[in-house]
Amino acid sequence: MAVPQIDPEKLIQDIREHPDRARRRHGHTVSSTFHVSVPYGTRYANREEIPKFKILPEGAPADAVYQLLTDELDLDGKPNLNLASFVGTFMEDKAKSLMMENLNKNLADADEYPALMNIHARCVSIISHLWGVQDGETAIGSATTGSSEAIHLGGLAMKRRWQEKRQAEGKDTLKPNILMGANAQVALEKFARYFDVEARILPVTEKSEYRLDPELVRKNIDENTIGIFVILGSTYTGHYEPVQEISEILDEYEKETKIDIPIHVDAASGGFIAPFTEAGAGGSKWDFNLPRVKSINASGHKYGLVYPGVGWIIWRDEKYLPRHLVFQLHYLGGTEESYTLNFSRPGAHVIAQYYNFIHLGFNGYKAIMENCLANARILSKSLEATGWYICVSNIHRKKGEHNFKGVKAAVFGCDDETSADYNAGLPVVAFRFSDEFKKEFPNVKQVNVSHMLRARQYIIPNYPLPPNEQNTEILRVVVRESLSIDLLDRLICDIISVTQDMIDSAVKDGLVHQLDQASIEKELSLKASKLKDHVKHPMSSGVHRSVC
């Protein structure tokens, strides 16, 4: 039987227009000048609802509108507990003050805001040096509204350079293609679709660590390949893709065919992590130290530690930005150049980015990124120590080790360890139910962990891995600066608690397989009990104070 569909807006409207309501209100109209001390102090107090989808003939008092919007926005999640997102939710008070003081400045108005443009130029210089710009090269770049715009600009420049070269050789420009892994963020696919480029999306596997497989790159490039999108930090699992290995494959291909294929590095998150951590990008090159890397993007509003939205696109030299993508503007009082997709965009975020660079310095950024990675390792090892979960991400495993080796391998490390002792990657914890757990509790659904944590105000997504591995679902926590050691302690306890609740419900409902050997449920519960005792105390003295 079909379930009847209810339109809540119509239901409310019918109740509002019911005759009984009209009779109760007869003789008690509400004047537009009604300002006695009732909730919100307006005619929208208890008797009328503000229209949501049409503008009012007359406005409402500012304090009333403020309260109405505040009430509705209270339904949003708490940004600090949004562990699904890479986007920053914390800035220091001085940085916030600078942003508020400069919210009205437009980055497109270079002639009106010369000091802002100078700060913008300094940011481009600082970032280009972080990413290894070479002597003799003149790096060029710009702030964008985020990494999506920056990726489109990097891809568009590769397409235009490919077209120019093909035209100079008298060849057609009808079938450009670009390569990326199936783990690519949607912005990379958008570039291909929006700018008429064939997207050759290569499957990722557990063997390739759920990232772009260099051997598949070798098999799928041709004379129409405008470039390769290589990701420094997969949004799925946090793995860095092997930029140097792919670069070497393209070097070999050029020697064989004379075809020069560039790389654009999507370093949306890793661009502000790899330069500051002991692990770097795993010991291999990834930036402008590789001649084949022509452009790099990053999100200032992720690990650049700025509020959304600001991104950055840098080309290693101005010759890699085709001149016909650069527009000269004369109508704002002077002559300026524009090569972004958006024109007007906020300047306050650029000021906040520069504030972070100057205030934190290299060592400040390094301390924050190492702390994020250390916290991610603690979370990863704690989850695996329960026996209920294993991690698909591997930044908590010693360098060179990539596979889960059992619960006993979850050793919490020493005081003096750094990210250099572990696999390089983003501070991301991607985890799933262990095979043993799924065998013992087949009716316990992993997605319900996400739902139950949401009831405790955490936002932790559960989603399938990219195509080809979509049968594996993972939960993912992004460890940002704002995930303090105390909050991490609470998070670990809550994950254990909701998992235990799900086990208890399954046992109560008789949904657990009965095995001959000692109950795995009891064994896992005992481990969880011990882990709860562990996480309540040692971490309070800091992430580097765990027992060896």
In DSSP notation, 379-403 reads: HHHHHHHTSSEEES--TTSBTT--S
| Residues 148 and 190 sit within 8 Å (Cβ to Cβ) | yes
**Beta sheet of 177-181, edge-to-edge order:** 140-144, 311-315, 293-299, 263-266, 225-231, 177-181, 198-202
Amino acid (1-letter code) at residue 273: I
Instruction: Name the β-bridge partners of 478.
Output: 428
Compute CA 118 distance to the chain's CA centroid, rounded to the nearest angstrom: 29
Cα separation of 309 and 381, whole Å?
33
* Strand arrangement, sheet containing 428-433: 389-391, 428-433, 473-478, 462-464
pLDDT at 535: 41
- Rounded Cα distance between 294 and 310, Å, is 21
Residue 443's SS3 state is: coil
Which pLDDT score, from 0 to 100, does residue 58 have? Answer: 83
Which regions in the chain score pLDDT beneath 50? 24, 26-36, 514-522, 524-526, 528-529, 531-548
pLDDT confidence of residue 544: 33
227 in Cβ contact with 262 (< 8 Å): yes
Strand 198-202 and strand 473-478: pairing? Answer: unpaired
List the one residue out of 133, 152, 162 whose CA is nearest residue 315: 133
Tell the residue number behind the tokens 């920053």, with chain if given: 88
Alpha-carbon distance of 57 to 161, in angstroms, equals: 53
Q: Residue 177 in contact with residue 198, Cβ under 8 Å?
A: yes
The dihedrals phi and psi of 540, each to the nearest 5 degrees, come to -65, -20
pLDDT at residue number 541: 39
Q: Judge contact between 231 and 183, C-beta under 8 A.
A: yes
Q: Where are the beta strands (DSSP E) in 91-218?
A: 140-144, 177-181, 198-202
Question: pLDDT value at position 57?
Answer: 85
> At 501, which amino acid appears?
D
CB 314 within 8 A of CB 152: no
Q: How far apart are CA 74 and CA 71, in angstroms?
A: 5
Q: Is the peptide bond before 425 cis (omega within 30 degrees of 0)?
A: no
Question: Would you state the structure tokens that stand for residue 456, as one six-digit string?
Answer: 């405790």
Cα–Cα distance, 416 to 253 (Å, whole number): 43
Alpha-carbon distance of 152 to 145, in angstroms, equals 12
Q: Which residues contact 405 (CB under 8 A, 6 or more apart)?
A: none
Which of 358, 370, 210 has its CA nearest to residue 280?
370
Structure tokens at 378: 């603690």
**Cα distance between residue 353 and residue 351, in whole Å:** 5
What is the chain's alpha carbon radius of gyration, rounded to the nearest angstrom?
27
Rounded Cα distance between 216 and 209, Å, is 14
